[in-house]
Amino acid sequence: MAGSLLVLCLLWSGATPVADLEHGHRAFAAGEYREAARALEGLAARLPRAADYALYLLAESQFYLGDAAKARATFEALGRQRSSRLQPVAAWRIADCLWVEGKRSEAGAAYRKLLKGSAPALADPVVARFHLAQLATRPGGCSARSTSTRPPTRWRTRRRGWPAAPRPPAPRPWSPPIRATA
């Protein structure tokens, strides 16, 4: 009787793995990555059928917290789950983690390999192409032609918003104020 009461209390308090996954997802969606990582840590072992979702959200939270090495390890664990729908995304995110860690040549090699195939729905091949272009134009990069450390002019132009914001409206041609004549 006491054991069933304890189980009932645990279920009532929301301490189930599914409740933790829900809490982690809500925290992630709200941009509270530290809370999401706390809720999702170790959850994959407790949720075998939804382990890939727990790993993906945990790795993304770690990445956005700035811990790219820990995120990479979590994405590698996700990549080992062959039956997961999120497994193809792991390789793309591992390359992103390598880039953020400063391992540019390793990330470039991974991006080149990934761009030979088709990108899964959650992966953005434009990011890979952009990083490869950055590598190609930097001194010591793939084919460094420039000695400048500044990015090309077209990359210095910044727009508001992310990932893409509409351009501001074109200014109207100036016309002098109309004066009333009597």
Q: Is residue 47 part of a domain?
A: yes
pTM of the model: 0.69
Number of helices followed by number of strands (H, E) in the chain: 10, 0
Q: Is residue 158 part of a domain?
A: no
Three-class secondary structure of residue 157 per DSSP: coil
Q: pLDDT tens for residues 59-84?
A: 999 999 999 999 999 999 999 999 99
Q: How confident is the model at residue 22 (pLDDT cuts 50, 70, 90)?
A: very high
Report the pLDDT averaged over residues 138-166. 47
> How many other C-beta atoms can be found within 10 angstroms of the C-beta atom of residue 75?
27
Three-class secondary structure of residue 162 per DSSP: coil
The pLDDT value given to residue 171 = 58
Report the pLDDT averaged over residues 13-24. 84
Report the pLDDT averaged over residues 149-163. 45
Q: Is residue 1 part of a domain?
A: no
Q: Is residue 182 part of a domain?
A: no
Q: Is residue 71 part of a domain?
A: yes
- Is the separation of the CB atoms in 41 and 54 below 8 Å? no
Q: What's 105's domain CATH number? A: 1.25.40.10
Three-class secondary structure of residue 147 per DSSP: coil
Three-class secondary structure of residue 42 per DSSP: coil
The pLDDT value given to residue 80 = 95
Alpha carbon distance 10, 4 (integer Å): 10
Report the number of distinct structural domains present in the chain.
Answer: 1
The pLDDT value given to residue 65 = 94
Q: Is residue 172 part of a domain?
A: no
Structural domain span for residue 132? 11-142
Report the pLDDT averaged over residues 13-19. 78
Q: Is residue 179 part of a domain?
A: no
